[in-house]
Structure 1
């Protein structure tokens, strides 16, 4: 998250904790679309997605006094973690997912929807063929790698925040991003790799090319 955006969010968050309930709607509007977008990539059930988001914000409002004594470094990451946990709980309760859960495969099977990177590449003067190749390459990644690419380069989350969301160590998060980038490098033409990595780098100051 960019520093100015983070400072603005911090201000709104502390204002809300101090009793200014009017800023709650602002916090809601700032994150609702991103949570919806993330949710649709994790699960096809729109009702579960909307219910989970409403539960997250209801908890946030009702438990704000308890949260006032808790240091939340990043509200955006906190919302993503809470939302993913609630949505995952609903998925686990569905019988058809029980076998996957018992086999320990559910986590790696999330994020099955296509990851649309069109919004990131629309401003670049690229041919239709190149754009289609980039989108296809990203969506050919395993679900887990696709999800972490989304969180890192579109949501611009820190590795520490991603580790909380995915329930993995920070080191594992770094390695997962590395493996995803290696996979993209093997799939794409070298020139396309440079284009894609430039797009990622443009929106993420922490991106360091390993190639």
Structure 2
């Protein structure tokens, strides 16, 4: 069993190759490592934890059943995130009986929250700063929130983000993130200036 500290892209490639050959142990390792990661990602599109759990169990079952037809992806992580995202949107569409698009006009939300360890500023008004930053994150577009999550929470490359978010070019992923960061900086600067002149 591979510990998460020792888990790497090389481990992914090896486990994936073994999965394609029908190795149940390799499938178990991929499941144990990626189920929590995919759950954290998918739960940001819907608050229905049961729907996400059911979808992921179905997703992994299908992955194992279709293993012989799988090809070796460049990045197992981004492949699984793309596939799980697509499947989740089909589940949401079926549950809501409304069409859900994978592109800019998504009819689903994307919740992006600060994790406790992401709050680095230790000042007298730490809670106020956290609330302000959360408000600013909430003001981002759905696509910006998702891109920020993938880049800074999942440490994915711009190439992987473009692939997951179905962007035609990698530069669009960069632009999306830069614009989100610029918007955050601008909003925070405005609030800080307003506090100084109170």
TM-score range, shorter chain: 0.7 to 0.9
- 2:33 corresponds to which residue? 30
Q: Find the aligned partners of 2:67 and 2:181 in 1 and give their Cα distance.
A: 39
| Aligned partners of 1:117 and 1:135 also within 8 Å | yes
Which consecutive unaligned segments of at least 5 residues does structure 2 have?
Answer: 193-198
- 1:171 corresponds to which residue? 171
Q: Deviations over 1:9-68 (max 9, x none)?
A: 22322333344311221211111112111111111223321222112211221111111x
Which consecutive unaligned segments of at least 5 residues does structure 1 have?
Answer: 193-211
Q: TM-score, normalised by structure 1?
A: 0.75
| Aligned partners of 2:46 and 2:109 also within 8 Å | yes
Pairs aligned (count) = 184
Give the drift of 1:182. 1.3
Cα distance change, pair 189–164 in 1 and its aligned pair in 2 (3 A): same
Q: TM-score, normalised by structure 2?
A: 0.79
| Aligned partners of 2:20 and 2:69 also within 8 Å | no
| Aligned partners of 1:36 and 1:50 also within 8 Å | yes
Structure whose residues are more often helix by fraction = 1
RMSD between aligned alpha carbons?
Answer: 2.8
- 2:196 corresponds to which residue? none
Cα distance change, pair 105–94 in 1 and its aligned pair in 2 (3 A): farther
1:135 has 2:134 as partner: yes
4+ residue runs over 6 A deviation = none
Structure number, greater radius of gyration: 2
1:1-211 matched pairs, under 5 angstroms: 5-67=8-70, 70-94=71-95, 97-98=98-99, 106-107=105-106, 109-113=107-111, 115-122=112-119, 125-126=122-123, 127-169=126-168, 170-189=170-189
| Aligned partners of 1:81 and 1:165 also within 8 Å | yes
Q: Find the aligned partners of 1:50 and 1:95 in 2 and give their Cα distance.
A: 17
